[in-house]
Structure formats: structure tokens, C-alpha cells
């Protein structure tokens, strides 16, 4: 079933104590203010994961995730973290294919297809990110780019596996820039993504897929974005670092 999800991506912010303090605030506010019709997910740096999972115990609508996981099961990959390790601390989600990983760490669609397989094999829910750069949008290539990210990254999955994914559309030009996609621009791409899923799998699979919007999403613009028929929530960067802002975005689904 398609879920309403607001996921925070803390990126490389907050030391251990800061992260625990913020997450405790988020949990308390969620308990007091959210109606529970939505899911809140926090994707933290690896070092916070185990403790956040402990704090989230008993809150069925609060999830914890990593921001990356390696494609291999295990081995001589100094400095890397496996999907199995992420799962072993109780995390339920992993962001894959964020544009910062694609841009700064050279992650290709081909590599991300492998990471997706490994994450699913360990029963993690990938939050699979796609999105075009400004240059690609200006060259009117955005639909082609989105399509190739889908085809090469995740359309090798069978329908059952695909049903376990969450997709996030994050136009690169909207990330951390304060320039958000208009609700029309975002809806247009979300509808396109859903149409492509229906064409590859079937309409039921497309209807059941949660597609989140990410890129300068905040408590002010979230209501209009989330009111669009194909936008099922958000992947939130900067605004997820403030408990009040994050919870106000979560509460759009109250």
C-alpha cells in the first residue's frame, strides 16, 4: 500500500550527541502532534543508527535509515558499511542514489542497481533517488534522464521486489539551493515516474509506490507540494535538522 512518508536526510551533519538530542525531540513531537497517518523516517550518519533505533522502539510509524550501503556482502572495502551491518542494528531504510553520491562519489546507475539488490536482499527499504541537473532540464532532457535512472537503476527488479522500494524525485537544482520545484513541475515528473512504473510493471504496482519529493522542501511549501496527487511525501535535507520544521512538514499529513 502506498504510504505517506516524510524522511529526513541529515547528510554529514550532527555529532553523536547532537543527533540523539535532535531525534529525541523529533520522537516527542511526533508522539504529541502527529496523528500517525504518516510515517516519519530519519536517515542519519551510520554512527547514530543503533541508538536512534533504540529511541524509536515502540513507535511503529517512526523509521530509521542509513544514507548509503555498499553493494558487496562483505570484504576488503576499507571504510565501507554493508547493508547487512545496517540491518543488524535494526535500521529499516537506506537512501540509495542520492545526487551527492552520484556527483561526489561517482555512483552510476549500474552500481546503484547492485546496491539496490543487496539492500533488498537484507530486507532494507531503499529510498531510491533520481533527478536531473539544471543543465539537463535546460536542455529539455529531464524526462530522458529520469527514465534512464529508472530503467538502469531499478527496472531490473521483479514486481514483488519493486514493491518494496520508495522513490524520491530530487531535482539537483533544488537541493540545498532554496529554489524548490514548483508544485506543477514536481507533479509533472511524479506523474511521469508513475506512468513509467505502470508501463514496466502494472497500474497496481504504480499506484502502490510511494514517490517522495526532495529539494528545498520546508514547512511553507510542503502543503502545496504534498497536495499534488502523485506526491506522497518528502525527502528533507536542511529542514530535517530542526525538529520544529521537520515535524511541521510531517504534520502536513495529519
Nearer to ligand 13P, 87 or 98 (CB): 98
Question: 92 vs 214, which CB is nearer to ligand 13P?
Answer: 214
E strand intervals along 17-173: 39-43, 62-66, 93-96, 125-130, 166-169
Q: Are 163 and 206 in contact (CB under 8 A)?
A: no
Instruction: Indicate which residue of 98, 107, 132, 190 is catalytic.
Output: 98
Left, alpha or beta for 134 (phi > 0: left; psi -120 to 50: alpha)?
alpha
* Separation of alpha carbons 248 and 33, rounded Å: 9
The residue among 137 and 201 lying less far from ligand 13P, judged by its C-beta, is: 137
Whole-number minimum distance, CB 159 to ligand 13P, in Å? Answer: 26
Name the residue with the smallest CB distance to ligand 13P: 237
Question: Least Å distance between CB 164 and ligand 13P?
Answer: 20
In the chain, count H helices and then E strands.
Answer: 12, 8
* Catalytic residue chosen out of the listed positions 132, 142, 170, 190: 170
CB of 239 to ligand 13P, least distance (A): 6
| Catalytic status, residue 142 | no
Question: What string of H, E and C letters represents the secondary structure of 15-44?
Answer: CHHHHHHHHHHHHHHHHHHCCCCCEEEEEC
Closer to ligand 13P by Cβ: residue 127 or 201: 127
Active site residue 110: no
Contact 245, 18 (CB under 8 A): no
Residues contributing to the site for ligand 13P (CB under 6 A): 9, 98, 170, 175-176, 214-217, 235-239
- Would you name the residues annotated as active-site residues? 98, 170
Amino acid at each position: 500500500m502506498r504510504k505517506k512518508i516524510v524522511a529526513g536526510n541529515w547528510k554529514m551533519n550532527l555529532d553523536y550527541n547532537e543527533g540523539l538530542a535532535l531525534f529525541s525531540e523529533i520522537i516527542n513531537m511526533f508522539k504529541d502532534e502527529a496523528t500517525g497517518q504518516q510515517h516519519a523516517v530519519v536517515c542519519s550518519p551510520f554512527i547514530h543508527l543503533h541508538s536512534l533505533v533504540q529511541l524509536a522502539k515502540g513507535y511503529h510509524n517512526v523509521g530509521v535509515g542509513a544514507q548509503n550501503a555498499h553493494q558487496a556482502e562483505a570484504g576488503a572495502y576499507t571504510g565501507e558499511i554493508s547493508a547487512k551491518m545496517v540491518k543488524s542494528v535494526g535500521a529499516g531504510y537506506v537512501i540509495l542514489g542520492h545526487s551527492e553520491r552520484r556527483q561526489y562519489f561517482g555512483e552510476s546507475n549500474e552500481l546503484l542497481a547492485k546496491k539496490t539488490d543487496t539492500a533488498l536482499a537484507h530486507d532494507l527499504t531503499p529510498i531510491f533517488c533520481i533527478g536531473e541537473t539544471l543543465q539537463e532540464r535546460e536542455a529539455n532532457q529531464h524526462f530522458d534522464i529520469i527514465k534512464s535512472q529508472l530503467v538502469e537503476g531499478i527496472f531490473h527488479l521483479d514486481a514483488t521486489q519493486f514493491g518494496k522500494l520508495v522513490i524520491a524525485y530530487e531535482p539537483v537544482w533544488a537541493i540545498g539551493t532554496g529554489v524548490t520545484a514548483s508544485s506543477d513541475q514536481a507533479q509533472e515528473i511524479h506523474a511521469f515516474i508513475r506512468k513509467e512504473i505502470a508501463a514496466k510493471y502494472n497500474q497496481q504496482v504504480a499506484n502502490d509506490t510511494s514517490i517522495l519529493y526532495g529539494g528545498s522542501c520546508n514547512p511553507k511549501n510542503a502543503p502545496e507540494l504534498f497536495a499534488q496527487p502523485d506526491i506522497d511525501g518528502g525527502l528533507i535535507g536542511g529542514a530535517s535538522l530542526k525538529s520544529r520544521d521537520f515535524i511541521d512538514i510531517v504534520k502536513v499529513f495529519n
